[in-house]
Each structure stands twice: as structure tokens, then as C-alpha cells.
């Protein structure tokens, strides 16, 4: 993700040999990576070759206890693990055992729990990065700018529940559709436009969980009742037309 790319670039800048593994990396994140960052062939190879491991993944049912006894067994003895993503990504019991026998030489996290407090070679850091006055001011500015950006262009950036979806706004009329992430939604939307003899100039569709978002730039103008017709498609949540 974006934070992982920033960390990889920063580590390379201070002279580290950096490898990363992300089977779901976005095009945007890939473009932001330094060309000097190596792509690991597999997660197992990354674990086996690294001296430091920095975790940058979301907490999902499949990633809970991501760092566990099995994963640690594939690492170099003396590995140093940095976890500033989510505490539950690391199995505390397995980590403590690995710290005790020296397999893990250091664990740094800003998600400490009672079991980790006072443990030798654990560096617990308060999870306060987003609570400083500077961060709160920046967050407020970002939220207002991105909300205005959405209102004016229909582009979505850094939404919690919707995917990032962004096309440069031109003088074309823009239609945005928030809808459920189910099969044939895009087909129904584009078929509706085709039935009204509307030509699509540019289009993007992105999904995140159960939600999806489609941006369509069209040639010409939109018929008066197009918004209502698109809104009546089963699964559509919200339609906007942006001049």
C-alpha cells in the first residue's frame, strides 16, 4: 500500500537493500516505488531473506495472526520485526516464545498490549501519531480538500467505505454511480446509456468490499430523465451528473 511504499523508499534512501511482497499492489502504489526496491517472488522467500520485516497490511480475518509460529520459523534467527499496522496481525504468544529463544531479536510496535509491556527487546510506542496538533490540522485540511474534490469532480480519494476512483476532469459531462459490488452492474449502466444513444468518452470502475463506484464521461448532453432511470437500476445507491 501507500505507507509500505513510503517506508520502502525511505529504507532504500538510508542505504538498505529493500525487498517487498504485495500480490495486490495497485498501479498507483507501484508507480510510487523506487525502482531499486526488489519484488520478492513469494512471501516465504521474503521472510527467509530479510533481516528486518516491516508489516503494512490491513487487519482482515485472513491476516489476523499473520505473524505466528509458522511464519517466524521461516525467518532468519535474530530477525527484527516492526509492526505499525495493527496489533492483532502478530500472535503475541508465538512472538513472546520467539523473543525468549532469540529467534526474534527485537519487536517494535505502536500497538502494545499488557503481555508485551516490560518484555526485554520489545519497543512499545504510544499510538499517537494521528493525535498530535499538527496531524489533526493536516487531517482536517485533507478531509475538506478531498470532500470538495469529490463534489466538484466526482473523484474519490481516501474514502473509508468506497474505493479510490479518479479520472482527470475535462469539459465532458460526467456521470458518477455509487452501487453495490455485484455482477453486471456496469453492463446495466452502459446498456442504459447505449439505449439512449449516449457515447462514452472515458470510464473507470473500482470496487471495495460490497461497494463499487463508476465514473463515466460522455459526449454531448444527458437526457432530462437519465438520472432517474439510472437510479432505478437495482443495486444503484446514488447517481450524480457533474457538468
**Annotated catalytic sites, by residue?**
86, 115, 127
Cell of 64: 489476523
Residue with cell 455509487: 178
User: How far apart are the C-alpha atoms of 241 and 231, rounded to whole Å?
Assistant: 11
DSSP 8-state code for residue 196: T
Q: How many CB atoms are closer than 10 A to CB 211?
A: 16
CA distance 3 to 6: 5
Residue 176's CB is within 10 A of a number of other CB atoms, namely 20
Supply the DSSP symbol for 156. B
- d(CA 198, CA 158) in angstroms, rounded, equals 31
Using DSSP's 3-state secondary structure scheme, residue 145 falls into helix
Amino acid at each position: 500500500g501507500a505507507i509500505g511504499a513510503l517506508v520502502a523508499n525511505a529504507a532504500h534512501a538510508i542505504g538498505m537493500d529493500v525487498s517487498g511482497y504485495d500480490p495486490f499492489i495497485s498501479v498507483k502504489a507501484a508507480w510510487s516505488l523506487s525502482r531499486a526496491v526488489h519484488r520478492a517472488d513469494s512471501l516465504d522467500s521474503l521472510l527467509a531473506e530479510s533481516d528486518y520485516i516491516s508489516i503494512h497490511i490491513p487487519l482482515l480475518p485472513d491476516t489476523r495472526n499473520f505473524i505466528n509460529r509458522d511464519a517466524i520459523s521461516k525467518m532468519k534467527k535474530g530477525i527484527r520485526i516492526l509492526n505499525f499496522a495493527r496489533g492483532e496481525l502478530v500472535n503475541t504468544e508465538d512472538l513472546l516464545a520467539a523473543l525468549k529463544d532469540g529467534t526474534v531479536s527485537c519487536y517494535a510496535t505502536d500497538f502494545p498490549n499488557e503481555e508485551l509491556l516490560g518484555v526485554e527487546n520489545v519497543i512499545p510506542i504510544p499510538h499517537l501519531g494521528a493525535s498530535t496538533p499538527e496531524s489533526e490540522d493536516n487531517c482536517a485540511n485533507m478531509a475538506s480538500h478531498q470532500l470538495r474534490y469529490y463534489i466538484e469532480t466526482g473523484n474519490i480519494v481516501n474514502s473509508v467505505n468506497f474505493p479510490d476512483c479518479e479520472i482527470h476532469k475535462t469539459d465532458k459531462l460526467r456521470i458518477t454511480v455509487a452501487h453495490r459490488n455485484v455482477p453486471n452492474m456496469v453492463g446495466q449502466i452502459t446498456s442504459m446509456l447505449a439505449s439512449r444513444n449516449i457515447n462514452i468518452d472515458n470510464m473507470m470502475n473500482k470496487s471495495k468490499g460490497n461497494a463499487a463506484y463508476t465514473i463515466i464521461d460522455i459526449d454531448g448532453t444527458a437526457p432530462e430523465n437519465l438520472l432517474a432511470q439510472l437510479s432505478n437500476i437495482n443495486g444503484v445507491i446514488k447517481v450524480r451528473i457533474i457538468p
